[in-house]
Chain A
Amino acid sequence: MAQKKLEKQLNILDYALSSLWRRRMKSLSLLLVFAAVIFLLASFQLVTQALSDKAKQVLAYTPEITLQKMSVGRQEAIPLAYRERLGGIFGIRRVVPRIWGYYFDEVRLANYTVMGMEVGEMPEGARLDTALASGAMPGPGPEEQGKVVIGQSIKKALALEGRTTFSLFRPDLSLKAFEVSGEFSRDTDILTNDLMVMNLAEARDLFALPAGMVTDLCVYVANPKEIDTIARKISEALPAVRVLTRPQIQKTYQVVFGWRSGFGSICLLAALAAFVILAWDKASGLSPEERREIAILKVLGWETSDILAVRFWESVLVSGLACILGMTAAYIHVVYFAASLFRPVLMGWSVLRPELYLVPRLEAGDILLILAFTVIPYLAATVIPAWRSATVPADSALGG
């Protein structure tokens, strides 16, 4: 009995396939529109996921507390001596000075992010050496003079082509020579793509920052649960200093990213709604030939449920194929074309980076979510038209 039922479903599936093939223009147009909707949704999901992962990666390198000196609402250099005033605050593990700035290379018309720091002073896990593809981070000694680690887009902008040396202008237009001692991996592009890391003395020299001054003080705490308490104590000890905590930065990322993601989702849901209307329209418009075919099948002994099963399998085949096509196209779009359709929406125009290599991660939950937002509305949109077509009276196949 079960074998008969299975054979029956296989026969009906076979008929549904041939039915789709017979109406191939209609089926193909529906398939392409459906695949396009799934492509948009899946791309969006993949980009969202990949960017979230990247954001987590960035935050892993962010100090737990960052101190910046503010004057008339603008950031200015902070004296290293401020470190001494933090000595009495219990729970601070380490305070690492950092010079963080932007360098506009007028020769190559490119912007670099320059970071000067003593990597050895940073706690493990926050060190950027884990982001290296090759070479080593510059150390603090004089023998490390001019050594830098660069990101992939800087390497491209400098057009090094086998060389390891290059020069940049100081503010007084004298040239400062550098030697590349390492390169950052493409996997950390969102953080390191335009990043140039050197030791503190070299960065101070490049920006002509006075001795004893840096741009930030990075504070690492012993217990992450005490970040807010320690931040409050720092604010009390150094009232002219802006205190940024990692959770605050994380929250800002989430708000900005969440807003963009929400905006994109609304646009995509509108596209989905339009598709459902199209599916309804296509499924409900029965041609005289289709009505005749259904009436013939019913006279030949097909039940209403058999016709419904044909329509169900047709919908499953169209949506299954559309899912495969749409998701594959989305993966290619994100991996090989760096999600060029969604980058402006999700990353913002003002912070657009020259290049970005996203590593998408599509999990079972994401696939189910995409299916829930596409296949289920499609099946729901076609069920009533399918019922209408299945209830065509059998006697309409007979003459008058």
Chain B
Amino acid sequence: MLIELSGVSKIYNQGKANEVRALSDIDLEVEQGSMVCLKGPSGSGKSTLLAIIGCIFPPTSGRAAIAGRQLARLPDRFLTLHRRETIGFIFQRFNILPELTVLDNITLPLLPLGVPPRERRQRAQQLLERFAISHRARFPAGQISGGELQRVAIARALINNQPIILADEPTAHLDTALSREFMEIMQQLKAAGKTIVIASHDPLVFEHSAIDRTVTIKDGRIHVP
């Protein structure tokens, strides 16, 4: 299993007056090369679960192993290093920096790895061509269309060739055509061996044929119908 969660809970501000229990007793296993959708309404805990799988923070309790590493045992710095090597993120609204060029946005994850400029450009160029946006490489990201922006975000998630792709509400601000295009690209990535976890409450995502499994989250727990 590439992703293994067992009895995972997350409590924000533990022991304080504003304590919030975001996740309770989550068990989840995701096989390599599969595509899983985390479904649930806003505030259900999808993003928190995605953050734990994405090595942004460890769970408050329970076991979480991502690509063979136990998160609870990793200090903050090693969580970041593990995230760099393992996880590619696609954010809600894509979180592209609008003043940077398309090329600079895509190569952002490579800067702290000490990848020299020429190699950065070569790696980005391959992805730009793969997603048919090489003509936009030098454009400021704020000046390209929504569909192109989506492909830039996916290219950025793939630049370091990480085995796991996490997408947080990727179609929340896209029209139907772009949402379909997004899922087609995810299907291609899955076929290429990537493990994909998408947090979404968009039927176009969780009802897509490429989704192997849909996990419903409600009030911080996995909901079994």
Contact = CB atoms under 8 A, between A and B. Distances in A.
B108 A300 contact: yes
Interface stretch (A8-16, A104-112, A346-354): A8-16
A298 interface: yes
A308 to B, nearest CB: 12
Interface in B102-126: 104, 108-117
A163 interface: no
Contacts of B108: 296-297, 300
Interface stretch (B64-72, B89-97, B179-187, B189-197): B89-97
Contacts of A3: 114
Interface in A365-393: none
B111 A22 contact: no
Given A8-B111, A11-B115, A306-B112, A300 B99 contact: no
Contact of A5 (B47, B84, B114, B115): B114
B43 interface: yes
A344 to B, nearest CB: 47
A397 B95 contact: yes
Nearest to A394: B56
A73 B51 CA distance: 90
B221 interface: no
Name, among A6, A299, A302, A306, the residue most crowded by chain B CB atoms within 10 Å (CB to CB).
A299
Contacts of A6: 114
Contact of A18 (B43, B92, B104): B104
Interface string B54-97: 10110000000000000000001100110110000101100101
B156 interface: yes
Given A395-B57, A397-B95, A8 B113 contact: yes
Contacts of B114: 3-8, 11
B91 A296 contact: yes
Interface string A300-319: 11111010000000000000
Contacts of A22: 99-100
A142 interface: no
Contact of B56 (A15, A292, A299): A299
A88 interface: no
Contacts of A296: 91, 95, 97, 108
B111 A12 contact: yes
B14 interface: no
A398 B50 contact: yes
Given A301-B80, A303-B80, A397 B91 contact: yes
Interface residues of B, number: 39
A252 to B, nearest CB: 61
Contacts of B143: none
Contact of A299 (B54, B77, B116, B172): B54
B50 to A, nearest CB: 7
A210 interface: no
B169 interface: yes
Nearest to B109: A300
Contacts of B47: 395, 398-400
Contact of B43 (A302, A397, A400): A400
A264 B217 CA distance: 69
Nearest to A292: B95
A121 interface: no
A397 B80 CA distance: 15
Given A296-B97, A299-B54, A398 B92 contact: yes
A226 interface: no
B84 to A, nearest CB: 3
A345 to B, nearest CB: 45
B12 to A, nearest CB: 10
Contacts of B43: 400
B153 to A, nearest CB: 11
Given A7-B116, A299-B56, A399-B47, A15 B95 contact: no
Contacts of A301: 80-81, 83-84, 109, 112-113, 160
Contacts of A76: none
Given A300-B156, A399-B172, 17 more contacts: A7-B115, A7-B116, A297-B108, A300-B109, A301-B84, A301-B112, A303-B77, A303-B112, A304-B76, A394-B56, A395-B48, A397-B95, A398-B47, A398-B51, A399-B47, A399-B91, A400-B43
Nearest 8 CB-CB pairings of A with B: A301-B84, A8-B114, A7-B114, A4-B114, A11-B111, A399-B92, A22-B99, A300-B109
Interface of B: 42-43, 47-48, 50-51, 54, 56-57, 76-77, 80-81, 83-84, 89, 91-92, 95, 97, 99-100, 104, 108-117, 156, 160, 168-169, 172, 199
29 contacts: A7-B116, A8-B113, A11-B111, A11-B112, A18-B100, A22-B100, A292-B95, A293-B97, A296-B91, A299-B54, A299-B83, A300-B89, A300-B108, A300-B109, A301-B80, A301-B84, A301-B109, A301-B112, A303-B77, A303-B80, A303-B112, A394-B51, A395-B56, A397-B95, A398-B168, A399-B168, A399-B199, A400-B43, A400-B47
Interface of A: 3-8, 11-12, 14-15, 18, 22, 292-293, 296-304, 306, 394-395, 397-400
